[in-house]
Chains A and B, each alone.
Chain A
Amino acid sequence: MRFQAWKIFSILIVLSIGIIFSLPNIFPPDPSVQITTASAGDGFSNKFLDDLKDLSKKTDIDTLSFEKTGKSILIRTNSYQDQILLKDYLQKELNENFVVALNLAANTPDWLKALNAKPMKLGLDLRGGVNFLMEVDTELLLQTKLESTASVIRNSLRDERVKMNFIEIEENKILVSLVDDEKTEIFNGIVNDLGNLDIDLDQNLVYELSFSDEEIDETIDYAVLQNLTTLRNRVNELGVSEPVVQREGRKRISVQLPGIQDTAEAKKIIGKTANLEFRLEAKDNSLASRVESFPYRGLKTRLEKKVIISGDRVSDASVGFDENGFPQVNISLDSDGGAQMHRATRNNVGTRMAVLFVERKTLSDVDSGINSIKNFYDKRIISLATIQSALANQFRITGLDSPAEASELALLLRAGALAAPMNFVEEGTIGPSLGADNIRLGINSLILGLSLVLVFMIFYYKVFGFIANLAVLLNLILIASIMSILSATLTLPGIAGIVLTIGMAVDANVLIFSRIREELKRKLKPLEAITSGYNRAFITIVDANLTTLIVALILYIVGTGPIQGFAITLSVGILTSMFTAILFTRMLVFFIYARRRNIEKIWI
């Protein structure tokens, strides 16, 4: 029986890496509350720290420690439930100059931190929290793009003095009919300058313009990326620890907020698919097709359909009060937006400009079945004011109902408007008590399943069963370390995957051991039986595990959320179990038996 030194060496390396990187999981982070102050620079006094301690003592929430770090104070608690209670309590007690946020205070020892070893993250189902899945409304996005393109073409034709019969939007096309066919060249020039528009001429000499597929893909891509940034900004305003905002698929964004409990509150900030539109009031001679009416203070107000700029041009927004003490929002535009605003307003001094608040809402009709959800836009004029002079980068919106409305509007504008409207297609809340239950249940079943298997293996395979058990335990350590290195998230289905892997991980050892028993029955000498057992079982093990791995990969590709969590732990488990069952146990068997000569009997 031989076992090369380099194999032993590499097994030991994998072993030590596995142990080191799984270690941080023994030191899970403390759920904690972080307090920072808006009036930065001066930090916190010791007196404030003492006040805070007294304040916390008034509740029956246990705190572990109070730490002053730079400009913030960190209060560690025992559980995610306590953390939320404490946060809510302190938020109520402290005035609005303080920001109270949830945090996770690391407990990893410094030498592990130096190696960049981190504990596994817990999924929402284990920690409690809120998740949203949002989808960009591509249809509306493209409709808006068509409208703005049509208006550019209309303006350019007018500038070139090309007369047209009509320009209108039908389905996904812009239809243009020119009065004078000889102006075709100018028209083509204008369209070509815009790029990425396909031109068709039908038998009635009407031009049909439509976006190319690449242009559509790019538009959607840009909108999703833009929204991703916006949503990240908004999430940061919420003050949660370890939020996840990521793209999912072509047009979806998934948002996970651990620790948050109030869906409605979170949705208000994150989900507000609100935007602003600045539009001019329609003139009396404006074409009916370019005008839209909205009620404003009981009167029907006609506005141009053309949008001067929308909220995504806003670079900063803050709340203030006007001369009469009414709330107002001060707005700064980026240079593009400023230029557009200037162009639109310089010739319209004296006309009124409206600020439209556009909010996306869903309306459902349960009776008429599954696909009856309709999205609609709630557009209302929040301010209608006469343009006093040409506007530029800085201006203000007045006429808001309340300071609360003003500050919400400012926040939304500041955090960025969404580049494209989004719908909530999925949302979920897991209460902290359910999360705690899930952890407890998951770990209990893991321990129970594990011990049943361990006892059974020793009973059935004796010394070899003990070796197999060491392999199973090492397998767990390796799974934990790989999950930590990948910074994968552990979820309940993930735990189920690990438990399942334990059951299946012994299969490889069982294959080997039963083969060794067979070889012994064929009167092979113990050492020969061991060698032959390992060699012959090897191919079977690889075949069997490879196919399961393929299934796990399909699960990962096809599945979402919970299924992916299961697939990750299953694939990691299959790989590590092959390593431990084939290489690690063989090394142990080698250490136990190889040095002894004339072994008559092995305990299997």
Chain B
Amino acid sequence: MNIQFMKFRKLALTLSFALLLISIVSLVFKNLELGLDFTGGVLVEIQLKENLEDLEQIRGLLDEKNIDNYVLNFSGSQNDVSIKIPGGADSSNAESLKIVLEENYEFDLRKEEFIGPQIGEELRDQGGLGLLLALLIMAVYIMFRFQYKFAVGAIFALVHDVLIVVGMFSLFSIDFDLTVLAAVLAVIGYSLNDTIVVSDRIRENFRKKRRSETIALIDRSLTQMLGRTLITSLTTLLVLFALLIFGGDAIQNFSIALIIGVVAGTYSSIYIVCNTLISMNITADDLAIKKSERFDDGMP
């Protein structure tokens, strides 16, 4: 018995378009909250010996020293304070920040960072380049291993997943830093993994029964793979939630990006890929084993 996945394909398409629209609108109008890695700037994180009620006192101190353009907040508990000055700061700003704080508080320095503006700029370029390169190589690989219709489907799925992850980060104003970029690239790897497993089964079934109707065949393939798809997503999500809950601040956003990505990737390998295949009229002939291969097949 097959689950009729494709019955809901129009609904799924609408959902995807809605999500993509929200993502793109948010990216255009709200922008990404780029982390220090990309903007350059100074970051100081300290752990105070006593808890603070609020940050007004520190704010007053910074204003007094004419340090402006800063972002001040608690990171975690009431005694963990993080101060960020994005943009054209230089390393001496970190020093003066520390000196101001040292004069007034007792604390443990947790982390201090200075990133020059040229580094941030380069990273933005490299990150974009990395994403494009990954997409391109994937497309070529799938075209070579499968067929161009699958490549189109896979690229749609990847763009869909990346846009949704990045869009959600923009929508909820979550810091997008270097580790999140790594997570987005890992999402590409994961989503592609899923897409290939599903495509692989569709291809196999097309080659087995030439006369079957396309939609029924895709439904059957998806039903066969459902158990595997769910279990793999589930185990991956299990460890990701472990990372999110116990991994600490440093990999929190990384885990969030991957969780969104894994859910989107699982969904897109079903609906985006198959929708693309159906609308491009995939047929058994597209996947027929070439003559030379058929001779070696040895099947009766």
> A433 within 8 Å of B by Cβ?
yes
A362 touches B91 (CB 8 A): yes
| B18 is an interface residue with CB less than 8 A from chain A | no
Q: Is B217 an interface residue (CB 8 A)?
A: no
B60 at the interface (CB under 8 A from A): no
Residues of B near A558 (CB, < 8 A) are 126-127, 129-130, 133
Chain A, residues 359-376, CB within 8 Å of chain B (1/0): the string is 000111110111111000
- Which residues from chain B contact A62 at a C-beta distance below 8 Å? none
Contact in complex: B69, A366 (CB < 8 Å): yes
Q: Mark B88-101, 1 if CB is under 8 A from A, else 0.
A: 11111111000000
Asked if B197 is an interface residue, CB under 8 A from chain A, the answer is yes
CB of B240 within 8 Å of the partner chain: yes
**Distance between Cα atoms of A424 and B94 in the complex (Å):** 13
Contact of A511 with B242 in the complex, beta carbons under 8 Å? no
Q: Does A29 contact B (CB under 8 A)?
A: no
In the complex, B200 has a CB within 8 A of chain A: yes
With A456-B234, A493-B254 in contact, do A437 and B248 touch (Cβ < 8 Å)?
yes
Q: Which residues of A contact B47 (CB under 8 A)?
A: 433
The reply to whether A500 and B111 contact each other, CB–CB distance below 8 Å, is: no
Chain B residues in 8 Å Cβ range of A98: none
- Given contacts A264-B95, A433-B108, A453-B238, whether A548 and B190 have CB atoms under 8 Å apart is yes
Q: Which residues of A contact B200 (CB under 8 A)?
A: 539-540, 543
Instruction: Name the segment of B207-215, B224-232, B282-290 touching the other chain.
Output: B224-232
Chain A residues lying within 8 Å of B201, measured Cβ to Cβ, are 540
Q: Are B111 and A550 in contact (CB under 8 A)?
A: no
A504 at the interface (CB under 8 A from B): yes
As a 0/1 sequence over residues 431 to 466 of chain A, the CB contacts with chain B under 8 angstroms (1 = contact) are 101100110011011001110110011001000000
User: Could you tell me if B90 and A373 are in contact, using CB atoms closer than 8 angstroms?
Assistant: yes
Given contacts A373-B117, A433-B110, contact A452 B242 (CB under 8 A): yes
CB pair A453–B235 under 8 Å, yes or no, is yes
Spot the interface stretch: A19-27, A273-281, A309-317, A559-567. Answer: A559-567
- B contact face: mostly helix, strand, loop, or mixed: helix
Whether B137 contacts A550 by the Cβ 8 Å rule is: yes
Does B87 lie within 8 Å of A370, measured CB to CB?
yes
| Contact indicator B182/A424 (Cβ below 8 Å) | no
A425 cross-chain contacts in B, Cβ below 8 A:
115-116, 118-119
In the assembled complex, the Cα of A370 lies from the Cα of B124 at a distance in Å of 14
Bound-state CA distance A254–B187 (Å) is: 29
Which of B88, B123, B145, B248 contacts A369 (CB under 8 A)?
B88
Q: Give the residues in chain B near A560, CB-CB below 8 Å.
A: 123, 126, 178
A554 near B130 with CB under 8 A, answer yes
Rounded to whole angstroms, the CA-CA distance of A365 and B76 in the bound complex is: 32
Asked if A233 CB lies within 8 Å of chain B CBs, one says no
Q: Which of B145-203 contact A (CB under 8 A)?
A: 145, 178-179, 181-182, 185-186, 188-190, 192-193, 196-197, 200-201
**Judging by beta carbons under 8 Å apart, are A369 and B250 in contact?**
no
In residues 308-362 of chain A, which contact B (Cβ within 8 Å)? Answer: 362
Answer whether A423 and B116 are a contact pair too, CB < 8 Å, given A373-B88, A445-B247, A547-B192: yes
- Taken residue by residue from 530 to 545, chain A's Cβ proximity to chain B (1 for < 8 Å, 0 otherwise) reads as 0000000001100111
Instruction: Name the residue on B nearest A512 (C-beta).
Output: B228
CB-defined contacts of A427 to chain B, threshold 8 Å: 91, 94, 112-114
Q: Do B111 and A430 touch (CB < 8 A)?
A: yes
Question: Is the CB of B11 closer than 8 A to any CB of chain A?
Answer: no
A368-B89 Cα distance, complex, nearest whole Å: 11
- State A438–B234 Cα separation when bound (angstroms): 26
Q: Are the CB atoms of B88 and A365 closer together than 8 Å?
A: yes
A547 near B239 (CB under 8 angstroms)? Answer: no
Closest to A372 in B: B88
Contact B239 A559 (CB under 8 A): no
Residue from the list A363, A366, A434 in contact with B111, Cβ < 8 A = A434
Inter-chain CA distance A444–B245, complex, in Å, is 10
User: Residue A514 at the B interface, CB < 8 A?
Assistant: yes
Cβ contact within 8 Å between A503 and B118: no
Verify B245–A496 contact, CB threshold 8 A.
no
Contact A449 B242 (CB under 8 A): yes
The verdict on A370 contacting B88 (CB below 8 Å), with A431-B108, A550-B138 known, is yes
Shortest C-beta distance, B28 to chain A (Å), equals 21
Give A369-390 as 1s and 0s: 1 = Cβ < 8 Å from B's Cβ atoms.
1111100000000000000000
> Does B251 sit within 8 A of A, measured CB to CB?
yes
Does any Cβ of A come within 8 Å of B236's Cβ? Answer: yes
CA distance A368 to B88 in the complex (A): 8
Q: Is A570 an interface residue (CB 8 A)?
A: yes
Q: How far is the CB of B254 from chain A (nearest CB, A)?
A: 6
Closest chain-B Cβ to A456's Cβ sits at a distance in Å of 6
Query: How long is the Cα–Cα vector from A547 to B195 in the complex, in angstroms?
Result: 11
Task: Tell whether A398 is near chain B: CB-to-CB under 8 Å.
Answer: no
| Also in contact, A563 and B88, with CB within 8 A (given A433-B108, A445-B246, A506-B235) | no
Contact yes or no, B110 A545, CB < 8 A: no
User: A544–B251 contact, CB under 8 A?
Assistant: no
- Closest-CB distance, B2 to chain A (whole angstroms): 14
B116:A544 contact, CB within 8 angstroms: no
Q: Which of B88, B189, B196, B231 contacts A364 (CB 8 A)?
A: B88
> Is A502 in contact with chain B by the CB < 8 A criterion?
yes
Judging by beta carbons under 8 Å apart, are A540 and B238 in contact?
Answer: no
Task: Give the CA-CA distance A431 to B200 in the complex, in Å.
Answer: 49
Would B114 and A493 count as touching, CB distance under 8 A? no
Contacts A427-B113, A492-B251 given; does A563 touch B186 at CB 8 Å: no
Q: Nearest-CB distance from A482 to chain B (Å)?
A: 19
Contacts of B251 in A (CB 8 A): 492-493, 496
Q: How far is the CB of A424 from chain B (nearest CB, A)?
A: 6
Which residues of B are found within 8 Å of A449, using beta-carbon distances?
238-240, 242-243
Q: How far is the CA of A531 from the CA of B232 in the complex (A)?
A: 22
Q: Does A303 touch B at the CB level, under 8 Å? A: no
Contact A510 B87 (CB under 8 A): no
Partner of B134, one of A365, A370, A551: A551
Q: A507 with B243: in contact, given A425-B116, A426-B115, A539-B200 (CB under 8 Å)?
A: no
A431-B110, A507-B236, A558-B133 known; 5 other A-B pairs, CB under 8 Å? A362-B90, A423-B116, A449-B240, A453-B239, A457-B235
What are 30 sample pairs from A and B whose C-beta atoms fall under 8 A apart?
A: A133-B116, A133-B119, A364-B89, A424-B91, A424-B116, A425-B118, A441-B246, A449-B238, A449-B239, A449-B242, A452-B235, A453-B235, A453-B239, A460-B231, A493-B251, A496-B247, A496-B255, A500-B239, A503-B239, A503-B240, A504-B190, A504-B232, A506-B235, A544-B192, A544-B197, A548-B192, A550-B134, A550-B141, A551-B134, A554-B134
Nearest first, the 7 A-B pairs at minimum CB distance are A449-B239, A558-B130, A425-B116, A449-B242, A551-B189, A503-B236, A441-B248
Query: Which A residues are within 8 Å of any B CB, using their own CB?
Result: 125, 133, 135, 261, 263-264, 362-366, 368-373, 423-431, 433-434, 437-438, 441-442, 444-445, 448-450, 452-453, 456-457, 460, 492-493, 496, 499-500, 502-504, 506-507, 510-511, 514, 517-518, 539-540, 543-548, 550-552, 554-555, 557-563, 566-567, 570
